Chain A
Amino acid sequence: MDPALKLITILIIAIEISFTQNLILNFIIIIVSLLILILNKISLKSLLYIFLVPIIPAIGIYAAQLINGSTNYGIILATRVYAYVFLGTTFTKTASIKNLIFTLEQNCKLPAKFAYGVLGAFNLTETIRKEIKQIKLAAAMRNVHLTFFSPTLYFKSIMSALNWSNLLAEGMTSHLFVEDSPRTHFKNININKLDYVKMIIIIFLVQIVLIKF
Chain B
Amino acid sequence: MATLTIKNLKFNYANNKMPIFNDVNLNFAPKTLSIIHGPSGCGKSTLLKIIARLYPKYNEGISSGKIFLNQKDINLINELSFRKQIAMMFQNPNQQFCMQNGYDELIFTMENLQLPKDKISKKINEAIQFGNTSNIIYHPFDTLSGGEKQRVALSIIYAINPNIILLDEPFASVDYETRQILIGKLNQLKNMGKTIIVVDHDLSLYEKIFDNLIIYNNNTFKSISYKASIRKFEEFQISPAIKCSIPNKQPITLELKNISINNGDKKLIQNNSINFYQGYTTLITGKNGSGKTSLFNTLIKMHPFNGEIRLNQKNIRKIRIAKYYKNIGIVFQDSNKQFIKLTVKEEIQLSIKKHNYKLFSTIEIDNFIKNLGLESLLDQVVYSLSEGQQKKLQILSMLIMGHSVLLLDEPFKGVDLKSIEVINDMIKLAKTRGQTQIIISHQRYELKELVDFHVTLSNRKLEYKESF
Which residues of A are in contact with B by a Cβ distance under 8 Å?
116, 120, 123, 130, 134-135, 137-145, 152, 156, 159-160, 163, 166-178, 181-188
Contacts and interface: CB of A to CB of B under 8 A. Distances in A.
B98 A185 contact: no
Contacts of A173: 54, 57-58, 83
B339 interface: yes
B96 interface: yes
A116 B112 CA distance: 12
Contact-residue bracket for chain B? 35 or more
Contact of A176 (B57, B113, B120, B332): B113
22 contacts: A123-B100, A141-B401, A142-B340, A142-B397, A143-B326, A160-B336, A163-B383, A171-B95, A171-B97, A172-B98, A174-B83, A174-B87, A174-B88, A174-B96, A176-B80, A177-B112, A181-B80, A182-B114, A183-B112, A184-B111, A185-B111, A188-B117
B109 interface: yes
B156 interface: yes
Contacts of B403: 141
B96 A175 contact: yes
B181 interface: no
Given A145-B322, A171-B97, A174-B96, A185 B90 contact: no
Contacts of B1: none
Nearest to B100: A123
A120 B98 contact: yes
Contacts of A184: 110-111, 114-117, 120
B61 to A, nearest CB: 13
Given A137-B302, A176-B113, A178-B83, A143 B54 contact: no
Interface string B32-61: 000000000000000000001010011000
Contacts of A135: 340
B79 A178 contact: yes
Given A170-B95, A181-B79, A186-B110, 15 more contacts: A137-B302, A140-B325, A142-B350, A142-B401, A143-B325, A156-B340, A169-B58, A173-B58, A174-B88, A175-B98, A176-B112, A181-B80, A183-B111, A184-B114, A186-B117
Contacts of B338: 138, 141
Nearest to B326: A143
Most chain B beta carbons < 10 A, residue from A142, A170, A178, A182: A142
Interface in B73-107: 79-80, 83-84, 87-88, 90, 95-98, 100, 105, 107
B226 to A, nearest CB: 33
B322 A140 contact: yes
B337 interface: yes
Interface of B: 52, 54, 57-58, 79-80, 83-84, 87-88, 90, 95-98, 100, 105, 107-117, 120, 142, 156, 160, 300, 302, 321-322, 325-326, 329-330, 332, 336-340, 342, 350-351, 354-356, 383, 397-398, 401, 403
Nearest to B336: A160
Given A142-B354, A171-B97, A166 B113 contact: no
Contacts of B90: 171, 174
Given A143-B326, A163-B383, A178-B83, A171 B96 contact: yes
Contact of B337 (A138, A152, A159): A138
Contacts of A176: 80, 83-84, 87, 109, 112-113, 160
B112 A175 contact: yes
A175 B398 contact: no
A134 B110 CA distance: 33
A130 to B, nearest CB: 8
A189 to B, nearest CB: 13
B354 A143 contact: yes
A140 to B, nearest CB: 5
B355 to A, nearest CB: 8
A50 B22 CA distance: 61
A178 B105 CA distance: 15
Nearest to B108: A175
Contacts of A143: 325-326, 354-356, 401
